[in-house]
Structure 1
């Protein structure tokens, strides 16, 4: 594959064997794939972007009402200058909001998964952002079903391991860059923490993916395409059969630097108590078990949040 492929997920129902083979091959090679035919409406996506932009346009003192220090940014607003890519000297040039799963407050996971915050200043925020959360959660589950089949697991293998997943929808605002000599980048080179990430659109180019040859490849998807990539938890579970690929968001040059950028990734996580233990289907003489010590999804998440300075 000379470039990151885009596949139509409707083929999961109409041409399953071929689709699963092509999707699995794309992820083994790139850790990334574009997904179209997903059925998530333009109205929902645009509504979510408009609501996010309306929030980020609020005065700083208003936004800071929704910042919860000491929580790792799990819910609500995280201001500029906090998240820093692992091993980077400089924080990313971004502010963001986290929407999490709505669960009953008497749930066994309530102590880990807090209540969502909703900005009163943007009344449509909850409708569109949680609507998009639910739609991407369902789409992600379908992608995981295909990936399970590709490595010889039952189609529903992930269903009861992610139905209470500590998944996050993250609207992000990268501001215009007024100083071209700034050492920070919009998002430093990193790998995602979770099972898979689904990225809905982006208002400007900038996403780059590191190929196996060590080359940075631009990946700006078509408007109807959702970019889906493997995270470190699934890489670990699959013993690197599905690689978590390094990627970044670079600063634009010239006039584009004066334009803000918005994106809304969805980070699909397992249930907090899911034990990430290498799948036997992914261990062989050529690929021995790299992770003999299992770890829960929550413990792994906390390790990684400390590395990127969110906790």
Structure 2
């Protein structure tokens, strides 16, 4: 296990800010318990995800849209490739994004969701509810980060209001014999602001420590793993690091088991200007321009 201590979202604001700030500055990761996402909702979401990925390949592919960077719906096995990697990751996934009202000007940045309503009628309501819960928890964590950075507690609220956040349902099938150097998720950093991950109890997630050692991330059951993304690293000029991490292939009997997880990639508003709040940072860039740049690097656009 890593030396990351588990903190609780029920702690007093100053205490939570100190816990998260220390962990993020040291590891780029934190573990959060008592987050308030109902266990029955998580169980329903896991059930729906398993049912989705169990569908025949040709049926899932009808929900794959080319040319959109995997922003919505289904992305088949073996498409995403980490920046700098030479082989594709061993995973398939589904993206749920923000539901915008008709005529919303941000619709130019966010495509409509794709829903498998005809075969999974409970899928849409389950994941819209989970998306909303993730947003609430993410706002709470961002308020603690703001306090740690010496900002007003609600500083981040307008930066993520109607943000381009994405809930990803991940399925790593049993490791194929012909993997040939491919892993479930090659070493990478997340593009977004912060990531909130459910389902990391299964062994395999590792972070790259400053010492150069890979450390396992093993949260207690039901806890969230939270990590800093590139956008927040850029905004803080590196004070909060976006740490390289990976999901390695299991060995022995575990290699024959699938792995499922649900990361929520919390994003800034597409029109938010990522302008470093401390000296020494990189040139300002809008969140949408930065996202497009990074999606090209990982072969999703």
TMscore range, shorter length: over 0.9
| CA distance in structure 2 between the aligned counterparts of 1:179 and 1:232, rounded to whole angstroms | 34
CA contact (8 A) 2:235 2:281 kept: no
Question: Structure 1 length normalisation: TM-score?
Answer: 0.94
| CA distance in structure 2 between the aligned counterparts of 1:302 and 1:180, rounded to whole angstroms | 32
CA contact (8 A) 1:94 1:174 kept: yes
RMSD between aligned alpha carbons? 1.1
Of 290, 295, 299, which aligns to 2:281?
Answer: 290
Alpha-carbon offset, residue 62 of structure 1: 0.7
Q: Please list, as runs of the form range in 1=range in 2, the aligned pairs for 1:1-311 lying within 5 A after superposition.
A: 3-11=3-11, 15-119=12-116, 120-179=118-177, 182-202=180-200, 204-279=202-277, 282-283=278-279, 289-291=280-282, 293-311=283-301
Alpha-carbon offset, residue 238 of structure 1: 0.5
CA contact (8 A) 1:174 1:262 kept: yes
Question: Structure 2 length normalisation: TM-score?
Answer: 0.97
Alpha-carbon offset, residue 243 of structure 1: 0.4
Q: Deviations over 1:185-224 (max 9, x none)?
A: 0000000000000001246210001111111001121112
| CA distance in structure 1 between the aligned counterparts of 2:63 and 2:16, rounded to whole angstroms | 43
Equivalences, count: 299
| CA distance in structure 1 between the aligned counterparts of 2:193 and 2:109, rounded to whole angstroms | 18
1:188–1:143 CA distance, 2 compared to 1 (3 A): same
Point out the more displaced range, 198-207 or 295-304: 198-207
Runs of 4+ in structure 1 deviating by more than 4 angstroms, as ranges, are none
Alpha-carbon offset, residue 181 of structure 1: 5.5
Which residues of structure 2 form unaligned runs of 5+? none
Which residues of structure 1 form unaligned runs of 5+? 284-288
CA contact (8 A) 1:197 1:228 kept: yes
Alpha-carbon offset, residue 304 of structure 1: 0.2
